[in-house]
Structure 1
Amino acid sequence: MRTFHSQLEYVKQELLTMGSQVEKQIHRMRQAFAEMNYATMDQIIEHDHLINQLEIGMHDKVTLLISKQQPVATDLRKLIVALKVSSDLERVADLVVDIAKQSQRMKEQGLVSFKEKLETMFSIAEAMMHDALKAYEASDMLLAQKVAMQDDRVDDLYGKIIRELFQLDNSDVEIDQVTQLAFVGRYIERIADYATNLSEWVVYEVNGKHFDLN
């Protein structure tokens, strides 16, 4: 029979395992987007239900621990953060699936320069998610704050891409390609937002205070 604190550590390790799975989805999708690899995109879409199951399992474990142990103060915060982080990770996985579905509608050689700009955005968002999970693992508030600082870069790139996309001459482009690129950019921008959310949960877990790091 595990002690309560060993159960808390188990929850954290399970959550980090879920985070690792989401990271793999992000990485595979970034590569698939760069290569327009539709087969990998299909696999990413099919894999999503596994992450959904991990989130449901985490919710059940944490809810049971709270009801049985009735933790307070720091221990309760850790469990609340686990619920929030697992929910955010599941939503990130959904966004990766959304990117896959939109990308499958794109032409392989359509608007290449914009696609390359989105790849840059994607790389930053991927690094943010990786560092946010590292910050959670180590309870590292400084790293969490550094992650949040990167969000402005993603927002700026996204804003610039959108402005340039909608300034294109309609006679030279297909409007559905512009729309799909805009959606992909929005989903990447949301992944970066969730990485910032994770960083904010790290700060809350450590000191019990809510800070808007964005």
Structure 2
Amino acid sequence: MRKKFDEELRHLNNLLLEMAMLIENSIKKSISLLDEKDKTLADEVINYEQRIDIYEEIIQKHCLKLFVEQQPAAGDLRRISAALKMITDMERIGDNSRDIAEICMILPDDYETNRFPIIKDMAEATITLVNNAIDSFVNMDIEAAERIDKEDDVVDNYFVMIRDELIDIIKSDFDPAAAIDFIMIAKYLERIADHAVNIAQWVIFSIKG
């Protein structure tokens, strides 16, 4: 029985990793729309969001199956419960990526992304944060999970830097409408990072209780 249960837990980990890969690609593709408005690419982000929703449902059913058939206790129970909570945050990350893509597609046609590269740095930091949070669950690495909160400070600092830089460039000749769009993109990235922090907190719960 234990061998079968361990196999089911490995399958759960694989599902979470597959969902995490969709999330990573969704964020990357949504941010890449800053370089070029590409309807096909925007549609891909929407498709990713839909597939993430499907994975959420699949993982929910798998976890409920484990509850019913295996009746897990102690650490196993916490681990499966944490997975159920995590996928809610992961699904919302997919939603936020779609929101970013939608904003990118309505940016003014004459905006200059190369004047504002820091937002891509923020996106990279956010993706790293999400990946680290998921990895901490798969590896049951409490030290990595506990570092996520401090790593989130990096993303928060990027948001402050972007806000301050936007204030300065609005005073010059930067399109105020584009500035608002950029601050919204940064805000969605900050929210994604917050979801990563939530995931890490559930990892800590699954290990410590």
Q: TM-score, normalised by structure 1?
A: 0.85
Q: Distance in 1 between matches of 2:14 and 2:69?
A: 20
Gaps of 5+ in 1: 209-214
The structural deviation recorded for 1:182 is 1.2
SS at match of 1:172: coil
Aligned to 2:122: 121
More deviation in 52-61 or 137-146?
137-146
What is the correspondence of 1:33-112 to structure 2 with a 5 Å cutoff?
Answer: 33-110=34-111, 112=113
Q: Distance in 1 between matches of 2:79 and 2:170?
A: 52
More deviation in 32-41 or 10-19?
32-41
The structural deviation recorded for 1:177 is 1.3
CA pair 27-174 structure 1, distance change in 2 beyond 3 A: closer
Question: 1:22 and 2:23 equivalent?
Answer: yes
SS at match of 1:3: helix
Amino acid at match of 2:108: K
The structural deviation recorded for 1:190 is 0.9
CA pair 173-28 structure 1, distance change in 2 beyond 3 A: closer
Q: Distance in 2 between matches of 1:152 and 1:125?
A: 11
Amino acid at match of 2:101: A
The RMSD of aligned alpha carbons is: 2.3
Provide, for residues 163-185 of structure 1, a one-character-per-residue CA deviation record: whole Å limited to 9, x for no partner. Answer: 34245547834332122111101
SS at match of 1:33: coil
SS at match of 1:130: helix
The structural deviation recorded for 1:197 is 1.7
Contact 1:30–1:123 (CA<8 Å) still a contact in 2? no
Contact 1:135–1:143 (CA<8 Å) still a contact in 2? yes
More deviation in 27-36 or 128-137?
27-36
What is the correspondence of 1:162-177 to structure 2 with a 5 Å cutoff?
Answer: 162-166=163-167, 168-169=169-170, 172-177=173-178
SS at match of 1:110: coil
Gaps of 5+ in 2: none
CA pair 123-141 structure 1, distance change in 2 beyond 3 A: same
Provide, for residues 112-133 of structure 1, a one-character-per-residue CA deviation record: whole Å limited to 9, x for no partner. Answer: 3663121111110011112222
CA pair 115-171 structure 1, distance change in 2 beyond 3 A: closer
The structural deviation recorded for 1:195 is 1.6
CA pair 38-207 structure 1, distance change in 2 beyond 3 A: same
Contact 2:42–2:102 (CA<8 Å) still a contact in 1? yes
The structural deviation recorded for 1:53 is 0.8
SS at match of 1:11: helix
Amino acid at match of 1:66: F
Q: Distance in 2 between matches of 1:86 and 1:30?
A: 22
CA pair 171-33 structure 1, distance change in 2 beyond 3 A: closer
Aligned length: 208
